[in-house]
Amino acid sequence: MIRAQLLSLVAALGAALLLAPIQAPARDVVVKATELHVGDGRRLQNAVIVVREGRIAAVGPAAEVAIPEGLPRLQAAVVTPGLIDARSVVGLAGYLNQPHDQDQLESSAPIQPQLRAIDAYNARERLVEWLRSLGVTTLHTGHGPGTLVSGQTLIAKTRGGSVDEALLRAPAMLASHLGPGAFGAERRSPGTRAKQIALLRQQLIRADEYRKKHAAAKRGSEPARDLELEALAEVLDGRLPLLITAYREQDIRSALRLREEFGIRIVLDGAAEAYLTLEDIRAAGVPVLLHPTMARQFGEMENASFSTARALHEAGIPFALQSGFEAYVPKTRVVLWEAAIAVAYGLPFDAALHSLTLGAARILGIEDRVGSIEPGKDADLVLFDGDPFEYTTRIQAVLIEGERFEGQ
């Protein structure tokens, strides 16, 4: 009797499973947008995005896109690509602002290119979650300004429980800083601009000699490994850009001279006085990760302008906005708000959005994965209930590779 009842129960459960609708994978979804910003300047009205296995399978006007049956659906007034924070220390710097969660700067020596961001990044840091809720789906983060060469950076998604799950690229760039902000404590070496350039030039020369010895040595007789010189050799080989924080005009010009002298790829960071050197920056073909629009204007930033983003755009210089480094809690700014203020000071809407999406992706070299809403790319999306740069607009949801997270 009991056996017959069990068989009957199993049969009933099997029938129920067969009749139940097949559930779509968690990373399959359809997103409908009253207005869709593709990321490359195009806007689509009444658009649809079909996401399959975390990637964009189709996108276009609703009348032209076939919508698969059985997929969950989301609706928003405005949809944009996931936002990219082009320069941050989040994940190395934590929200508690205590010694145990402040790994963004090692000040024991002026030049430490061997320090790897991947060894310090905390994917579970609450600041990562906070930025994600504000639309940031990709972070370029790592060692910050404050020493002549502070270490390496990485690029990560704002999801995953470990650096390995979040990682897009490591190393991404090598962080350097020219100017008073990177002088040694109590004016110890390097205590002047000339000493900074001399030290950096000498180490680049040493790295050049190191790589030449390795290239010429017979197998088994190579010089002993030097992690510092190996990292600088990657800069000389062109595999790793040198990210140079330089706010003052004279420091920007020094960075451009280093680029020309060693034939290296550089990216300018900060660049508060870039408006004084637009022609030289453009002629050098150097992109700019501009300081946060609302960054406090004192010290090296005393001549910063709210309209520098507009000046870079009008000059045709590739640039992206960033959250940068903040010494006080909560340790980070929000690029969406920084871009909104740049719009208020003359930067066109599309150019501002471009600086947080495809423009940033191109500078970081990740445009094959993120930055625009195109078939084959990661389904990183932000769903807004209104104008993204309007302060009262709410972020309804954030998708990273099709996985849904709450906005705010």
pLDDT < 50 stretches in the chain: 1-24
Buried/exposed 26-38: b ≥16 CB within 10 Å, e otherwise = ebbbbbbbebbbb
What pLDDT does residue 125 have? 97
Contact by Cβ (8 Å): 83, 370:
no
pLDDT tens for 183-232 read 987 768 899 999 999 999 999 999 999 999 989 998 888 889 999 999 99
Phi first, then psi, for residue 288 (nearest 5°) are: -125, 130
> SS3 for 121?
coil
State residue 358's pLDDT score.
98
- pLDDT for the residue numbered 32: 97
Decide: pTM greater than 0.95. Answer: no
What is the structure's pLDDT at 218?
Answer: 85
Give the whole-angstrom CA distance, residue 311 versus residue 30. 39
Given this model, what pLDDT does residue 326 score? 85
Q: What pLDDT score does 26 carry?
A: 67
Show the tokens assigned to 11.
Answer: 């049969």
Rounded Cα distance, 397 and 408, in Å: 8
Domains of the chain: 24-81+372-408 (2.30.40.10), 83-370 (3.20.20.140)
Are 222 and 214 in contact, with CB atoms under 8 Å apart? yes
